Amino acid sequence: MTAAASGAPDAEPSKAKRIANLVSIARKLGVRESRDIVDDGFTHMLSRLRVHSQAARKGSSHFVEARAYREFQAAQNTHGQLYASGNFEAHPQAVLHAASLLKQARVELGLEDFPIRILGGDVSHSIGHIAIGLGTRVKLRAVGLEETPRPIVIASQVPNKHYLEYFRPHFPISYVSTWVASDLRNRLWPLFASIDWVDTARGPLMLYEASTLADAGWEELTDRPLLELTKEDRDRGADFLSSIGLSAEDWFVTLHIRDNPRSGQGYGRNADADSYLLGVQEIVRRGGKVIRLAPPGAKALPEMDGLVDLAAMGPRPDWVDVFLLGACAFLIGTTSGPHMVASTFGRPVLLTNVTGLALAPIPSRTLVLPKLVRRVASGGVSTLSELLDLGAAHVDGFLTGVLAEPQDPYAWVDNSPEELLVATIEMLDGAYDQAPSQMQAEFQQILRQHGNLRPAPVSESFLARHR
């Protein structure tokens, strides 16, 4: 039950292949005639799909569709604003309200039994969304809780097409232009699935609930990871490691630290890559190597033995990142997409500078090092219990929704180099797979009371100091 793909090329699929993909989709929708696909086919294809879906709408008026669309979009905007403001008490109800409106729209428009759902840019625009959005659905299918009808993926502006191709055995995938993707969503909006919730056999569930349910069911079913690197990726990955100075006997840890200045000051998911250097030195001291994943041109780390910083190199093909996330001894990461990718390949993860501790879907074989918060003016740093009681553990971005006096608001506290070093040592010693101590078990129970359905272990030293 693994999803080994055929190692598709990273280049944009050929025109002929894209047309073939759309023909396949059209046939699933009942469009049978080859003349429906003319020239490059996209505009004509969309017209045919629109006609086919409209025929299923049982004569419903444009007024009904316009009203349903306005109501659904208003609900989408509401839950988006609640998420951005950190209001995670009202956010889940708002998401499920949007889900109910979308279902109601499908019923009113005669599309409830339409034989297809579409996963679009909500999923394909982010490598983390690909991992959790598609991975969760594959696992739900395996344990008999899949949504019906099964979705197809229509992708544009994909950050890593090679990773998306690993899911082709499970989903029809078609790459289209940004214009086509937008036109499809405008024309067929009731058929699009959302990244925020998953329609399951138990009804719509918030994504983190569905992911937790899927992970638990998958692990009861098998001890194999969701995905496995293809032979092609393993072979050329070995060549890549050789080209950067690693031998066949070397083991390596992949490092990915989210540090996106465009997010704005105070955004919780960012961290300082320099603070990880003590942990890097410990890995090297134990005989390992560290390969840092970062976009070309990102701030480079200081040169040091055993560290390969890809930020200092030029552009690289998509498969390199997939290989480094799928073949590492473990990943040191932050609250960003690559840690989810590594988990789909069964790799252990040291998840650092974690925000959203009470709600983040954290896979198995993960050790967590959370961020705390502090008062900006007075400097007082919270404990983990206070983090939960304040509601800050439900926030993964800005702290604007956490109540505080205007003159003394809260700010995130990044993990210190020393905390990162100790957590790295714990990770090297296998803490992610060990039975929980009494202190750990008690804190996991507190996390469950605050909404974390499947808590991962927290760094034991950090928990002892800050619980």
Q: Give the pLDDT confidence of 199-221 residue by residue, as tens digits.
A: 998 899 999 999 999 999 999 99
User: Does residue 82 fall inside a structural domain?
Assistant: no
**CA–CA dist 467, 464 (Å, integer):** 6
The pLDDT value given to residue 315: 92
**CA–CA dist 68, 364 (Å, integer):** 40
E strands present in 267-330: 289-292, 307-309
Query: Which residue segment(s) compose the domain that 408 sits in?
Result: 231-466
Considering 221, 245, 263, which residue would you say is the last residue of a domain?
221
Note whether 42 and 177 are same-domain residues. yes
Note whether 177 and 31 are same-domain residues. yes
Considering 221, 239, 270, which residue would you say is the last residue of a domain?
221
User: Does residue 89 fall inside a structural domain?
Assistant: no
User: Does residue 462 fall inside a structural domain?
Assistant: yes
What's the farthest any 2 CA atoms get from each other in the chain?
A: 71
Tell me the pairing of strands 410-413 and 372-375: antiparallel
Residue 317: is the preceding peptide bond cis (ω within 30°)? no
User: Does residue 374 fall inside a structural domain?
Assistant: yes
**CA–CA dist 190, 185 (Å, integer):** 8
Q: How is residue 150 written in tokens? A: 């099964």
Considering 171, 196, 221, which residue would you say is the last residue of a domain?
221
pLDDT for 59-72, tens place per residue? Answer: 556 667 888 989 99
Whether 90 shows a pLDDT value over 50: the answer reads yes
* Contact partners, residue 459, CB within 8 Å, separation at least 6: 367, 368, 369, 419, 422, 423, 426, 431
Note whether 289 and 407 are same-domain residues. yes
Whether 447 shows a pLDDT value over 80: the answer reads yes
User: Does residue 91 fall inside a structural domain?
Assistant: no
User: Does residue 73 fall inside a structural domain?
Assistant: no
**Looking at 97-111, 232-246, 394-408, which range is the least confident one?**
394-408
